[in-house]
Amino acid sequence: MESAIRFHVDLIFEKEIERLPWHIPLAEWEEHGVRTLEIKRGISRHVVIFVKSGRFSFGIKEIGEKISKKEISHYEQLLLRGIHTLVPVGYVVREEEPIPLQTPIGVQYEENNTSHTITLLVEKVIPDSVLYRRGFSTENRERIWDAVAALLAELHSKGVYWGDASLANTLIRFENINVPFVGRRTELKAYLADAETIEFQPEISESLREAELNFFFESMDWINGDLRAAGVPRDELSTEEDKEYLRHRYHQLFGLEQKKRSFELQTSYNIDRFMGSIADPSYADLLLKHIEEHKWYVSELAHKEISLSDAAHDWYENIFVPLCAMFRSEGVLEYFPGKTAAEMYVEIMTNKYFLSEKSGKDVGMERTMRDYMKRFGAAPTFAGVLKSASRKMKTILDGKK
């Protein structure tokens, strides 16, 4: 009997999905002439293949109907929360004859459908053998743990418990990120791949967060064994040092996520999206302090209390944006590669504050900038842009007076 096929697929992909041979098991697709793609993947329980069909390439996992439906909905919800994960295409069910089961109350039928979780293929993933190859510098290895820590911290602070956090379920690749006011930058990012076990909760308890982290540490031990068995020459990946680093970064970044959340609740500004990321959690406090000062100032002017979020809007439009646009047009940003506009703003303003405190008077923009430049070892040619940039900064900052 030809089994019935049911499609639950996003319209955009319908044509490419419908022409695949869903009436046969995934493991046999290749024999039936489907060209599968050789893609590095994590260890998995289920049959997973990658295929190109028309304009798209997909990752397809064979699995039960209920789970595939749930997994696709998990991916949708993760994306809505802005989490770095696979893009869901949908699920396709092959209906089979139910299995008759003899029970004391007569014959019962057990559902026997086969389903498939389909996601868009993520390409250019860095394979494990490269990620953890022998002689990998500590610096490079730490960038990998940074990416993993960022993913875990983001999940937990957004009320997501993964339940299967492991290296095998994490894809790592270089991504082109848009940094506000700076432009595009390449960053190592970790993707959540495998969303079967995910749970959404209003808040993830500390004990669950710890459990998830410890589970991930175990997965680092497994991969040692896997790679050794595969004959890949490499250093130990799960040294105590690695774990300690990952734990430290996770806690740091989780703290940062909390700060950013609270900042957004109070000001309605998302720091990453509107100002650029910050590596140091205390920068969120400093930005908030500036906005609070600005609120005091605009309230004085208006002879009435201005709300913090209105003050934040005024500060952003009239101070932050013009300053950052000027950093860019005057070429100041080029002297501080790797810094975001938010970081430069905080550092320059803090520098001005401390210098002024020390000398008991407002030191002005030019001295602030010269000092900042010296401290970060910016090229001497910076002197050229110093005068003009400082003058423009002063105009913007004085604009409110």
Ligand X SMILES: Nc1ncnc2c1ncn2[C@@H]1O[C@H](COP(=O)(O)OP(=O)(O)O)[C@@H](O)[C@H]1O
Interface ranges with Mg ion (CB under 5 A): 44, 169, 194
Give 154 or 196: the residue with its C-beta nearer to ligand X.
196
Q: With CB cut-offs between 5 and 8 Å by kind, which of ligand X, Mg ion, none does residue 48 bind?
A: ligand X
Residue 86 binding target from ligand X, Mg ion, none, CB below 5 to 8 Å by type: ligand X
Residues near 116 by Cβ (< 8 Å), separated by ≥ 6? 22, 26, 60, 61, 62, 63, 68, 91, 92, 93
Nearest approach, Cβ of residue 33 and ligand X (Å)? 22
Residue number of the CB atom closest to Mg ion: 194
Residue 15 C-beta: closest distance to ligand X, Å: 19
Q: Are 146 and 247 in contact (CB under 8 A)?
A: no
Q: From the list ligand X, Mg ion, none, which binds 121 (C-beta under 5 to 8 Å, kind-based)? A: ligand X
294 exposed, middle or buried (CB, 10 Å; 0-12, 13-18, 19+)?
Answer: buried
Which tokens hold the place of 86? 């696979």
Separation of alpha carbons 49 and 30, rounded Å:
10
What, of Mg ion, ligand X, none, does residue 59 touch, CB below 5 to 8 Å by kind?
ligand X
Nearer to ligand X, 72 or 378 (CB): 72
Task: Give the chain's largest Cα–Cα span.
Answer: 92
Judged by beta carbon distances under 5 to 8 A according to partner kind, the member of ligand X, Mg ion, none in contact with residue 16 is none
* Residue whose CB is less far from Mg ion, 219 or 390: 219
Separation of alpha carbons 347 and 384, rounded Å? 21
d(CA 51, CA 57): 6
Nearest-approach distance from CB 66 to ligand X, in angstroms? 14
The residues binding ligand X (CB under 6 A) are 41-42, 44-46, 48, 59, 61, 86, 119-122, 168-169, 171, 193-194, 196
Considering only CA atoms, which of 249, 248, 250, 271 is closest in space to residue 259? 271
For ligand X, which is the closer residue by CB, 133 or 289? 133
Among residues 37, 82, 48, 53, the alpha carbon closest in space to that of 196 is found at 48
Query: Residue 182 corresponds to which tokens in the numbers above?
Result: 């700076």
Give 330-356 as a DSSP string.
Answer: TT-GGGSTT--HHHHHHHHHHHHHHHH
Nearer to ligand X, 218 or 293 (CB): 218
Q: Decide if 40 contacts 128 (C-beta within 8 A).
A: yes
Of 57 and 266, CB closest to ligand X:
57
Q: Which does 242 bind (CB under 5 to 8 A by kind): Mg ion, ligand X, none?
A: none
Q: For residues 171 and 363, which CB has a smaller minimum distance to Mg ion in the complex?
A: 171
Please check whether residue 94 is in contact with residue 22, taking contact to mean a CB–CB distance below 8 angstroms. Answer: yes
Sheet holding 56-63, edge to edge: 4-9, 88-95, 114-120, 56-63, 48-53
CB of 126 to ligand X, least distance (A): 11
Residue closer to ligand X by CB (options 71, 314) is 71
Task: Yes or no: say if 179 and 163 are a contact pair by the CB < 8 Å rule.
Answer: no
CA geometry: angle at 149 spanning 83 and 200, to 5°?
40
DSSP code, position 45:
S
Q: From ligand X, Mg ion, none, which one binds at residue 184 (CB under 5 to 8 Å depending on kind)?
A: none
Q: Which is nearer to Mg ion, 171 or 312 (CB)?
A: 171
The phi-psi region of residue 295 (left if phi > 0; otherwise alpha if psi is between -120 and 50; otherwise beta) is alpha
**Residue nearest ligand X by beta-carbon distance:** 59
